[in-house]
Amino acid sequence: MVQELLIPSDHPRRVSLEIRERLVECFRKGMVVEQGLIAHGRGEAYDYLIGEKTTSTALNAIKTAVAALLLAKEPVLSVNGNVACLCSKEIANLAEIINAKIEINIFYRSKERIKIIEEELKRYYSKKIYGVEENNYAVIQELSSARRIVDRYGIYLSDVVLVPLEDGDRTEALVKMGKKVIAIDLNPLSRTSTTAQISIVDNIIRVIPLMIKYAQEYSRVNREELQSIIDNFDNKSNLEESLKTILRGIR
Ligand code: ATP
């Protein structure tokens, strides 16, 4: 209601403003931290430059990511505060279709925040949520402090991990552990985008619904065809294309 009053339905950048309002609401609930709001602002700037739409380059990465997740033995979708706020329902739907685990993996860790994120996910997802039980915590050796914690039966065990809006250190550490890492990050220059094997340079709001669409379609495709989608993908040149789109946006 408040949102309707603040943002007129005919506003040309309504969706972007609604997302902003939603994040502020999640911040007030304790799901999103201050740093998450700043990270979103960084993302918004890049989104503006790519034209606030999914580019063909991003779509290419999205299709490859879905193929990799469907071929994985232990796929995991990592969820932080911003992700939970913006697309819990869609993440739950995607996890069901590709038979992936969901793990809460947050940078600024507190029991309360994990509980709030878990409650949000539980509105749409009835299976076990990883990253919650302290008894199952394992550590990523390359990292220090609370950022090193993962679930021994989730990300620690996984072969393919989707890390939306992730920090560069953790992405690098996951790659060093031998995981295939799929990033969703609007910044093609971030360490996350440049380190991940599949980097989707697009807004998570648009990405997850498209992943759901292709997951439904590719569930009927044989393994050889899925593998050939992965083999034909070149992350480095895909990232260069994303940069060119941004440069065109600036011009
Ligand atoms: P890195 O450590 O990877 O070099 P960083 O310090 O920016 O980069 P974070 O702040 O943890 O790391 O990363 C958050 C990233 O998420 C940012 O690059 C930001 O552009 C991106 N981002 C924020 N909101 C969205 C969104 N809605 N969709 C996609 N990406 C987003």
- Quote the ligand 1 centre to 225 CA distance (angstroms): 32
**Other CB atoms within 10 A of residue 9 CB:** 6
Please say whether the beta carbons of 79 and 242 come within 8 A. no
Residue 6: what pLDDT?
65
Nearest atom of ligand 1 to the alpha carbon of 46:
20
Residue 166: what pLDDT?
93
CA distance 107 to 148: 9
Averages of pLDDT over each 10 residues, the chain, 251 residues: 61 85 97 97 95 96 98 98 98 98 93 97 98 94 83 97 95 95 97 98 98 98 98 97 91 84
Instruction: Name the phi and psi angles at 73, rounded to 5.
Output: -85, -40
Instruction: List the residue whose alpha carbon is closest to atom 19 of ligand 1.
Output: 43
Instruction: Name the phi and psi angles at 79, rounded to 5.
Output: -125, 125
In angstroms, how far apart are the furthest CA atoms of the chain?
A: 53
Ligand 1 pocket mutation, candidates 165, 182, 195, criterion most atoms within 8 A of CB: 165
CA distance 133 to 61: 33
Please say whether the beta carbons of 182 and 160 come within 8 A. yes
- Quote the ligand 1 centre to 170 CA distance (angstroms): 12
Pocket residues for ligand 1 (CB within 6 Å)?
39-40, 42-43, 46, 165, 167-168, 184-187, 190-192, 203-205
**Pairing, β 137-139 against β 149-151:** antiparallel
Residue 9: what pLDDT?
78
Instruction: Name the phi and psi angles at 222, rounded to 5.
Output: -75, 165
* HSE (side-chain half, CA atoms, 13 Å) at 126: 0
Residue 251: what pLDDT?
84
**Structure tokens that stand for 189 in this block:** 């220059």
Q: Domain segments of the chain: what residues?
A: 56-250
What string of H, E and C letters represents the secondary structure of the chain? CHHHHHCCCCCCCHHHHHHHHHHHHHHHHCCCCHHHHHHHHHHHHHHHHCCCCCCHHHHHHHHHHHHHHHHCCCEEEEECHHHHHHHHHHHHHHHHHHCCEEEECCCCCCHHHHHHHHHHHHCCCCCCEECCCHHHEEECCCCCHHHHEEECCCHHHCCEEEEECCCHHHHHHHHHCCCEEEEECCCCCCHHHHHCCEEECCCHHHHHHHHHHHHHHHCCCCHHHHHHHHHCCCHHHHHHHHHHHHHHHHC
Residue 209: what pLDDT?
98
Instruction: List the residue whose alpha carbon is closest to atom 20 of ligand 1.
Output: 43
- pTM for this entry: 0.95
CATH of 56-250, one of 3.40.50.1220, 3.40.1160.10, 3.40.50.12640, 1.10.287.110: 3.40.50.12640
Predicted confidence (pLDDT) per residue in 168-217, tens digit: 999 999 999 999 999 999 999 999 999 999 999 999 999 999 999 999 99
Please say whether the beta carbons of 83 and 169 come within 8 A. no
Pick left, alpha or beta for residue 130 (phi over 0 → left; psi -120 to 50 → alpha; otherwise beta). beta
Amino acid identity for residue 121 in this structure? L
Nearest atom of ligand 1 to the alpha carbon of 193:
3
